[in-house]
Amino acid sequence: MGKNVLILKGSPREWGNSSVLADQVAAGAKFSGAKVESIYLHSLDIRACDACDLCERGSGCVIKDDMQDLYPKLEAADAIVLASPVYWFTFSAQMKLCVDRWYAYQSSGWKELQDKQFALVLTYGDTDLYTSGGINAISTFETMCRFLNAEIIGMVYGTMSDVGDAERQPELMEQAYQLGRELGAS
């Protein structure tokens, strides 16, 4: 059986740069035999974690919104890809809202998310990883993966602004495709 890869897209621009690179990851993973699903977070109703801590009881998150459909997909995934633009020197709000809601797994010690593989796609307008704040998103991602005992398969990131910029960077497109191939391989 092929691997199950879940891609979370955090940009409001459905055809934007991080999305295009995420699609390259998806294509590579499919080539390797994986089953891939991409989720456009901006289209979903995902409310902020309200820290009610009712998830401590072990029956999940009580907020009835689109995260309820996403939780089983997260649990079933062998690999999860976060694809986000850098907004104000870190992940986009859409991505952060989703990731905050993973707090619902606290009663099990985050067992549902542990030992998975992760990968990151990050795009930013500034010239490099540091001035853009991309480094902050990477630091968050690495810390999160360490916490979840998750293996990082790879990261693809680069400078781009307008829709269409990603396609003008064939090396980065290829890097994203190869990351997908690696992710999809058993």
Stretch that binds ligand FMN, among 17-25, 56-64, 107-115, 144-152 (CB under 6 A): 17-25
Residue 169 within binding range of ligand FMN, rule CB under 6 A: no
Shortest Å distance, C-beta 6 to ligand FMN: 18
Position among 60, 110, 112, 133 found at the interface with ligand FMN (CB under 6 A): 133
Nearer to ligand FMN, 118 or 157 (CB): 157
Nearer to ligand FMN, 96 or 116 (CB): 96
Residue 175 within binding range of ligand FMN, rule CB under 6 A: no
DSSP assignment of the chain? ---EEEEEE--S-TTSHHHHHHHHHHHHHHHTT-EEEEEEGGGS--PPP----GGGGSS-----STHHHHHHHHHH-SEEEEEEE-BTTBS-HHHHHHHHGGGGGGGGTSGGGTT-EEEEEEEESSSSTTTTSHHHHHHHHHHHHHHTTPEEEEEEEEE--STTTGGG-HHHHHHHHHHHHHHH--
Q: Which residues bind ligand FMN (CB under 6 A)?
A: 11, 13, 16-19, 85-89, 123-126, 132-133, 160-161, 163
